[in-house]
Amino acid sequence: IKCKAAVAWEAGKPLSIEEVEVAPPKAHEVRIKIVATAVCHTDAYTLSGADPEGCFPVILGHEGAGIVESVGEGVTKVKKGDTVIPLYIPQCGECKFCKNPKTNLCQKIRITQGKGVMPDGTSRFTYKGKQIYHFMGTSTFSEYTVVADISVAKIDAAAPLDKVCLLGCGISTGYGAALNTAKVEPGSTCAVFGLGGVGLAVIMGCKIAGASRIIGIDINKDKYAKAKEFGATECISPQDSKKPIQEVLVEMTDGGVDYSFECIGNVGVMRAALEACHKGWGVSVIVGVAAAGQEISTRPFQLVTGRTWKGTAFGGWKSVDNVPKLVTEYMSKKIKVDEFVTHTLPFDKINEAFELLHSGK
């Protein structure tokens, strides 16, 4: 199939809309017509050149939704015409990670996915005969893409694809960080650092879990009204006090919060989020992805005295099983999705979408 795709030819340059060729799916692969895609900071991170796994030229994008166009040999879970969300964390159901209820990190195709190719080591994208790499096993910045059959979730055909594409990453990640990773309890106090899409989803999860106090933290005060709409009880800026933000939070909450979430990818903020937790039982979850080579630090005494540091990927959801359930929760109005969408642009304005992302709009 010849179609339009937004190609990242090299790091640090805007995406370029090109006509690419998308090969048919091989065995255990699925070709999808992408109807809608969102942009995420992870795409921008790779595009910046800071990602050690970044390969160019590449078709980025990992928050998408679409319709199955065709399937390769041996595919049984989906068929032509099915409505689907591609998954950057697959679920094969066979590896020891999939069999372990403690994790969602399927490793079946991790190595090839990290190298920007399909499980057989080749790409399905070409431009005038030149190979273009895949991204996160999804590559949703293309009108058609090919994914492994373990990297696709079949969802309710009635779902609006321009909304549920967000369940492919951001909303699921934040919501699951609160419910699955932290296991926020009713009546608890939570602090959420970073009020972008993921942070708002964490707030939503904390509220649904029954938290009584949810403090949003961001230097951009334009985000406070939205955070309160999602359930934040108050919002503060680290720039409004001479004291470190963790000290401010400890004072505000009589010793610290029960749960904190870092949704930025800043190692200094990760430390602050841990140290804002209550002695004896506080849990801090790292949700944001820091740049390559960066390290976190704190005094060991913070952990000796009963705080827990955790991390989460895709909110701990086993993807094939849970993404369809999240779509159902949205369709039954248990979780918000529409409210996360601020702008809807045509595909050829994708670089404008990244400008809006970077400007915090």
pLDDT number for residue 202: 98
Assigned superfamily of 173-313: NAD(P)-binding Rossmann-like Domain (3.40.50.720)
Spans of all domains in the chain = 2-168+318-359, 173-313
pLDDT number for residue 282: 98
pLDDT number for residue 99: 98
d(CA 112, CA 114): 5
Look up the pTM and report it.
0.96
Q: What is the per-residue pLDDT across 146-167, written as a single tens digit (0 to 9) for each? A: 999 999 999 999 999 999 999 9
Q: Which residues contact 334 (CB under 8 A, 6 or more apart)?
A: 208
CA distances from 171 to 4, 65, 178, 299 (A): 27, 14, 11, 32
Residues of the chain with pLDDT below 70 are none
pLDDT number for residue 239: 97
Q: Any idea which fold 2-168+318-359 has? A: Quinone Oxidoreductase; Chain A, domain 1 (3.90.180)
Query: Does the CA dihedral 29-34-40-46 come out positive or negative?
Result: positive
Give the chain's radius of gyration (CA, Å).
Answer: 20
pLDDT number for residue 50: 84
- Nearest Cα residue to 202 out of 172, 235, 234, 162: 172
d(CA 191, CA 282): 11
pLDDT number for residue 49: 87
pLDDT number for residue 30: 98
